[in-house]
Structure 1
Amino acid sequence: MKKVLFAASVYSHFASFHKPFMKMFQQKGYEVHAVGSNSRNRKDELLDIGVICHDVDFDRMPFSKKNMRAVKKLNELFSHHYFNLIHVHTPTAAFLTRYAASKHNQGKILYTAHGFHFFNGASRKNWLLFYPAEKLAKRWTDGLLVMNEEDISLGKRLGFKENHNMFHVHGVGVNLKEFHDKQGELIDIKNELGLISENVIISCIAELSPRKNQLFLLKNWNTIVDQCPNAHLLIIGYGDDMEKIKAFIEENWIMNVHLLGYRKDIPSIITASDIVTLVSKHEGLPRCLMEAMAAAKPIITTNVRGSRDLVDNGNCGLVVDLGDNEGLIQSFVRLIEDKQLRINFGRLGHQRIQDYSLGNVLNEMEEIYSRYV
C-alpha cells in the first residue's frame, strides 16, 4: 500500500488544519502516517480518522538534546517504512524530518512554510539561525508551499522557482459552511457572559504568546472603553502568556475583558462577534481572520505579512502599524460606533475570502500533490 507521512512539531497542528488533506489521501487508498508530539492532547482526533501516529518529541530550539533523540526516532521510522510522499510543517520538525528522510531514500518531500521565521523586521538571531537552515534544507526539498507575498520573495531568495518547485496556496482553507448566520448562538454567548444586546463584542482568537501580542491591545483597551463603554473584548486561546495576561488585566483594572481560554465553538463565537481582531507581530496566513471573513465580520489587524495579504485596509477591515497606539484606538472607536461600516466591511470580506475556501484549497493541494506522486 502507498504511504504518505505528515510531520510537524505537535499533533494539534494537524488536528487544527490538516485533517481534510489526510482524508483526501485516505480516499485515494493511501495509508496516512503522522509524526509529532502530543503536548496538547489532540492525538486522538487523528487516531479517530485512521491516521497512524508515531510520537516524536521535537524541541523548538534546534540544537537541543531532545532533537537529537528526535532524529534517532525518525531514522528508526524511515528504516521500517517507505513513504511515497512526505509533507512537513513547522520549522524544526520540518528541518529534522527532511534531514533524516534524505538519508533513507524516501519519496518526494514537500514543505509548507506557514510563515518563515526570518522575515522583514525579524531579529538578527532569527536570520542567522533559520535562514541558513532553510538554505541547507533546500537540497532535501522537492517542493515548497508558501501562503503570502513576502514568503514568495523569501522562497525565491532561497533558490526556489515559482510554479516550478514553489507554489502559492490560499492557506489551509476555511470551511465556509460553518459560518452561516447563527442568531440563536449569538444570544447564547451574550447570555453566557451576562451581556446585553446593545453590547459590541470584539473577539481576539490566538495563542496567548508574545508573538500574538495581546498586550498591545490590552494596554489601549481602557482608553477604547472610556469612549465606547458598550464594547467587550473576548480573548480566546491558551498559551505561555496566560498568567502574564491575567496579571496585567488585574493590576491595571482593565475593564470589559473576558478570558475564555480554549474553546471548541469558535465558529459560533465568531458569528456572535461584531468585530474580530488580531494584533500579531508576525503571521503566515492567519486562520482566524479567514474565518472572520467567512462569517462576514469586519477586522482590525496589524500591518504584518499574512494579515495584510487578507485584509485590504479600508475595504474589509482596518490595518494598523505595530506600536501605533493612537491608530489602534481610533480604528476600534470608528468601527464600534459605526454599525453600517461594520456591515459593509463584513460583506466585502466575505466576497474576498471565496478563493480561500476549503474546497478551493483542496483542489490546489490535489493538483500540487499529483505532481509528486
Structure 2
Amino acid sequence: MKKILLIASVDFHFTSFHIPYIEYFQKRGAEVHIAARSGERTKELESMGVIFHPIDFSRSPYSPKLFRAFAELKNLMEKERFDLVHVHTPVAAFLGRFVAKITKTEPVLYTAHGFHFYKGAPILNWLIYYPMEKMAARWTHGLITINHEDYERGKSFHLKRKDGLFYVHGVGLSLENYSVPQNFDKEAQKEAMGFKESDQLLVCVGEFTKNKNQRQIIHAMQEVLKIDPSIHLLLVGRGEEEEHLKSWVEKLNISKNIHFLGYRRDIPEILWAGDAFILTSKREGLPRAVMEAMAAGLPIIATDIRGNKDLITHGEEGYLVPIGDIEKTKEAILKIMKDSEQVKEMRHKVKEKIKTYSIENTLLEMDKIYRIFINM
C-alpha cells in the first residue's frame, strides 16, 4: 500500500480545499496521512480514514515553534517512509521540503496557492519569502501553480526536475453547488432577506481584513448612492476590521444601503439573490469567492491583481479596477448594475469561463501530475 503525506499549517486547509484529493488517493488504495495543526476539523478528517499527525506549525517563519515541528516531522518521515509528500502553505511547505530532503523522502510536490512575493508586494515579503522559495525549489520535484504570474515566476526556480513546473486551474470548485437551480425564485429570496423587488444587490464575500480591502468598496458606494440609491451592498464575513468598517459606515450615513451579514452558511442563496459581485483585495492567489460568484452567474468587479486577472478579462466577465481607485470602482458598480446587453453577456461569459475551474477538470489535471511521480 502506498503512503501519501499531505502537509499544511492547519487542518481546515484540507477540509476547505482538498477533500476530493484525499478521496482520489483513497480510491486508488493509498493510505493518506496529514500533518497539520489540529483544530475543529481534525475529527472530520479522521472520520474519512485519514491518519492525522498533529504538528503545531506556525505561519510565521520566525516562530520558535518551528524547532519542535521540525523534530516531530523528522520523526514522522523517518518512521513511515512515505511514497509521496505533497506540501501546502508557505512555512509548513518550506519545513516539509527541508525535512524530506534530510530524510531522503521523495518525491515532493508543492502547490503554491499564491506566492507571498508578487508584483506590488511589500519589500519585506521579497526579502523573506523569495529567498526561502528559491532555496526550497531545489528540494522540490514538482511545483504546482494556480495563476499565471506565479507560473512565470516559477520558471526562474531550479527544481529537482527540469520538467517539474505545472499550472493547474486552482483546487477545483463544485459548480453544481453554486449554479442557480431552475426553480429558484430570486424575488422571493430578496423579499425574505428584507429587500424590495426594485433593490439591486451587490455582494462581497470575504474576511474583514486590510488585505481584503472592503474600505475601497464602501468608499465607492458612498459616491454610487448619490446617483442610484437602489443599490445595496451585502458584506458577508467576519474579521478584525469589521467593527471599524461598521463605525465608518455609520459616520458616512449610508448604513441603510450597507449590510453586514456576518458569517453565513447560505452563501449560494445569497449569491443567487445578487445582481453582481465585488472583491477589492490587495493580494490574491486565485480567489475562491470570485469563482463561486462566477458559478452563480454574477458579473464581477475585482481589483486588477494576480489571481483576479486569471479569472476576469476586463469588459468580458466583468471589470477590473486599480487598487484604491474610488472613481473607477464607482463607475464599474454603476455600469455593472445596469441591465444592459453587455451585462447580460457577462452573465453568460462567467458561467462559461468557470467551467475550466471545476473540480472535475482540476482532478484530471492533478491526476496527470500525480501519475508522473507515483504509480498507483
Q: Would you say 1:259 and 2:260 are equivalent positions?
A: yes
Paired with 2:226 and 2:89, the residues of 1 have a C-alpha distance of: 41
TM-superposed CA distance for 1:212, in Å, is 1.2
**Cα drift, residue 86 of structure 1:** 1.1
- The CA deviation at 1:262 is 2.3
Q: How far is 1:245 from its partner?
A: 2.7
Which stretch shows the higher mean deviation, 349-358 or 75-84? 75-84
Per the alignment, residue 295 of structure 2 pairs with 294
Q: State which drifts further: 43-52 or 351-360.
A: 43-52
Partner of 1:98: 97
The range that moved more, 179-188 or 268-277, is: 179-188
Q: RMSD between aligned alpha carbons?
A: 2.0
8 Å CA contact 2:173–2:291 kept in 1: the answer is yes
Aligned to 2:44: 45
Map residues 1-373 of structure 1 onto 2, 5 A cutoff: 1-38=1-38, 41-160=40-159, 164-182=163-181, 184=184, 186-187=186-187, 189-255=189-255, 256-338=257-339, 340-373=341-374
What's the % identity of the aligned pairs?
A: 41
SS at match of 1:80: helix
Q: Distance in 1 between matches of 2:21 and 2:152?
A: 26
* 8 A Cα contact 2:222 2:252, kept in partner: no
- The Cα of 1:338 is off from its aligned counterpart by 2.8
The CA deviation at 1:187 is: 4.9
- Counterpart contact for 1:185–1:268, Cα < 8 Å: no
Measured in 2, the distance between the counterparts of 1:21 and 1:94 equals: 17
| TM-superposition CA deviations, 1:94-151 (whole Å, max 9, x none) | 1111112222222311001111111111111000000000011012211000111111
Point out the more displaced range, 250-259 or 271-280: 250-259
Q: C-alpha separation between the residues in 2 aligned to 1:226 and 1:360?
A: 44
Change (3 A) 1:273 1:153: same
**Range with greater deviation from structure 2 (331-340 or 149-158):** 331-340
For residues 225 and 281 of structure 1, the distance between their equivalents in structure 2, rounded to whole angstroms, comes to: 24
Normalising by structure 2, we get a TM-score of 0.93
CA distance in 2, matches of 1:237, 1:3: 37
| Pairwise CA distance, 1:49 | 2.1
- Indicate the structure with greater helix content: 1
- CA offsets 1:43-92 (integer angstroms, 9 cap, x no match): 33322322222222222220111222222221232232222111111111
The CA distance in 1 between the partners of 2:314 and 2:353, in whole Å, is: 13
Q: Distance in 2 between matches of 1:279 and 1:162?
A: 37
| Higher mean C-alpha deviation, range 92-101 or range 183-192 | 183-192
Q: Tell me by how many angstroms 1:280 deviates.
A: 0.8
DSSP 3-state at the match of 2:108: strand
* Shift, 1:308, TM fit: 0.8
Gaps of at least 5 residues in structure 2 are none
* Contact 1:59 1:92 (C-alpha < 8 Å) held by counterparts: yes
Q: Which moved more, 1:241-250 or 1:293-302?
A: 241-250
- Aligned amino acid, residue 118 of structure 2: F
Deviations 1:303-331 (A, max 9, x none): 00110111010011011011111000000
Shift of 1:189: 4.6
